[in-house]
Amino acid sequence: MHHVDYAQIFVSLLAIVNPLLGIPLFVSVTEQMPAAARHRAARSAAITVFSVLTISVVAGEFILGLFGINVMDFSIAGGILVLLMAINMLNARADGGARISADERLEASQKASVAIVPLGIPLLAGPGAISTAIIVADMSDSVMHRVILVGLCVVIGLLTYAALRAARGLSRILGITGMNIVNRIMGLLLAAVAVSFMVSGVTRLFPILATTPPPASVTQAP
């Protein structure tokens, strides 16, 4: 794979995780925490995101195999899931479609593990991120491919940590309007990624669709 492909994969994973998506919840549930506790919460959320993505990259295909699920079928299902999330983000849904109930928010505000659940899972590293990681890991069987993907997961974890560490400042700078604009841009990127996943899955299930028909011969009149 060329470096351009990995750049596209990185943008896809970053868009689906979207660290800015967790800022409103992070600010609300850590408002009463001291600075040190907020920093620990940001670190825990980032580690959770990295761990979920890495497990999906390394062992996702094996886990699917235990349930008898083909990666090609999963590519279509994952594409549909990512497309639904993209539509929610284009409609400026604050949670990007990751449904977190009021009870979960209340429980989160009373738990020390808020950075893991529901912030790390399912808000940031949710079903869409897991599906994307499994699908891109299946693009190549080489060990180097997965090593590079794990490296990308490290970068995304670091970006998540940086965004949550600066959550209060970013929340004041961007405001609701700015956050909605960012979500819509990320949603547009995700919509394109979702279509790519679905097309890839369909063409792998039906290889005949990927074949280019020979050009029609032009016969000259005598």
**3-state DSSP call for residue 139?**
coil
Model pLDDT, residue 57? 95
C-alpha distances in angstroms, 108 versus 41, 121, 167, 206, 210?
12, 12, 17, 45, 47
Model confidence band, residue 108 (pLDDT cutoffs 50, 70, 90): low
- 144 three-class SS: helix
Domain ranges of the chain: 3-205
d(CA 85, CA 96): 6
- For 203, half-sphere exposure in the C-beta direction (CA atoms, 13 angstrom radius) is 10
The model's pTM:
0.81
Average pLDDT for residues 115-137, to the nearest whole number? 88
Give me 12's structure tokens: 């896809």
Rounding to the nearest 10 degrees, give the CA dihedral for residues 44, 7, 64, 98. 50
Q: pLDDT above 70 covers what percent of the chain?
A: 82
Q: How confident is the model at residue 203 (pLDDT cuts 50, 70, 90)?
A: confident
Give CA–CA dist 116/109, Å, rounded.
12
What's the chain's average pLDDT? 82
218: pLDDT confidence band, cut at 50, 70 and 90? very low
